[in-house]
Amino acid sequence: MNILVTGCAGFIGFHFCNNLLKKFKSIKIIGIDNFNNYYSINLKKDRAILLKKRFKNRIKIKKIDISYKKNLEHIFKNNKINTIFNFAAQAGVRYSLKYPSKYIKSNVVGFHNIIDLAVKYNVKKLIYASSSSVYGGIKKKKLKENLNINDPIQLYAATKISNEMIANAYNKLHKLKVVGLRFFTVYGPWGRPDMAPMIFTKSILKNKAIEIFNNGKNYRDFTFIDDIIDGVIKVFENNKRKKSNNSIYNIGFGQSINVTKFINELENQLNKKAIKKFVPAQAGDMTRTASDISKLRKDFNYKPKTNFKIGISKFLSWYKNYYNY
């Protein structure tokens, strides 16, 4: 079975390929990524090299930008693709304030190219990354899939909502099976250098001040990468049983943690104090995210296992090894 994974050199795409190929020996992956310089290209290359080394001819990795339809179409012409996992996107909330057009290009044009070619080449199913950002300013203790999300507070969120809307339309028009996965603050080994766990760790180790937004009153549902991947693979394995051909799931840990508490745990485990600088909220930032994961639990028996203390220890052991600390 041929699976197309976009964003395969990214944090989540890399872990997904690694786990899928480990678990299912009959699967082959065509991975694509444009290896852009939003963060370290070397980190992306190292992930891709590791995948090639581990799985050899079971994974092909191509440097392709999903926003260029012509190049992308070659992949569909030359390979019979069964299922697509679309992880490629311009991620990050703060960057979207500065470079909005990059989000339209990768997340809207690119996403549309993927879904359009999926229909043209009779792909069975598209599973795509959405985000907890779609919930915007909703003030609920737990964020549930059926909440009204038509009030995005920044462009990144708007592009992810648009993916869900486009997927809905293509499902209605063409009967393409689609599943959108709303990930909640993912962290762990091989993580993203632009995200808080990596920024905090680097700053603590280098004695640099950490800016803590919203004066320390932000909360996040930090979700360890293995739990995210477990959720994605459960959806892939068992979706056949489900009647719905168009669904959305939260994938999170299900618990909101104060960002300062997360930093305190990093300090404990690094045995080093952080220099904390409390600053006002950033434009576009959510105050609190907490996933309601009951839908994923009910449909696929999803049970995240990694609490933040264990997650941090696994993340730090990778970090120290990779960056030679």
Ligand X SMILES: NC(=O)c1ccc[n+]([C@@H]2O[C@H](COP(=O)([O-])OP(=O)(O)OC[C@H]3O[C@@H](n4cnc5c(N)ncnc54)[C@H](O)[C@@H]3O)[C@@H](O)[C@H]2O)c1
Of the candidates 18, 113, 131, 203, which one interacts with ligand X according to CB under 6 A?
A: 131
Judge whether 190 and 8 are in contact, CB under 8 Å: no
Question: Among the candidate windows 8-16, 75-83, 172-180, 260-268, which touches ligand X by CB under 6 A?
Answer: 8-16
Nearer CB in complex with ligand X: 27/197: 197
Can residue 159 be called a binding residue for ligand X (CB under 6 A)?
no
Beta-bridge mates of residue 131? 183
Can residue 192 be called a binding residue for ligand X (CB under 6 A)?
yes
Size of interface with ligand X, in residues (CB under 6 A): 30
CB of 26 to ligand X, least distance (A): 25
CA neighbor of 216 nearest in space, from 287, 138, 269: 287
Can residue 121 be called a binding residue for ligand X (CB under 6 A)?
no
Q: Which two tokens stand for residue 260?
A: 């300062």
Site string for ligand X, 81-100 (x = CB under 6 A): ------xxxxx---------
Q: Which of residues 234-293 bind ligand X (CB under 6 A)?
A: none
- 3-class SS string, 184-223: CCEECCCCCCCCHHHHHHHHHHCCCEEEEHHHHCCEECCE
Can residue 31 be called a binding residue for ligand X (CB under 6 A)?
no
Residue nearest ligand X, CB atom distance: 10
Of residues 128, 156, 249, 302, which has the active-site annotation? 156
CB of 263 to ligand X, least distance (A): 17
Judge whether 132 and 119 are in contact, CB under 8 Å: no
Can residue 118 be called a binding residue for ligand X (CB under 6 A)?
no
Strands 223-224 and 275-278: unpaired
Distance CA(56)–CA(170), nearest Å, equals 35
What are the CA-CA distances from residue 283 to residues 48, 79, 103, 200 (Å)?
Answer: 34, 43, 17, 20
Distance CA(138)–CA(26), nearest Å, equals 43
Can residue 30 be called a binding residue for ligand X (CB under 6 A)?
no
Strands 223-224 and 219-220: unpaired
Of the candidates 183, 219, 224, 319, which one interacts with ligand X according to CB under 6 A?
A: 183
219 is known as an active-site residue = no
> What is the contact surface with ligand X in residues (CB under 6 A)?
6-7, 9-13, 32-36, 44, 65-67, 87-91, 106, 110, 129, 131-132, 183, 185-186, 192
**Positions marked catalytic:** 156
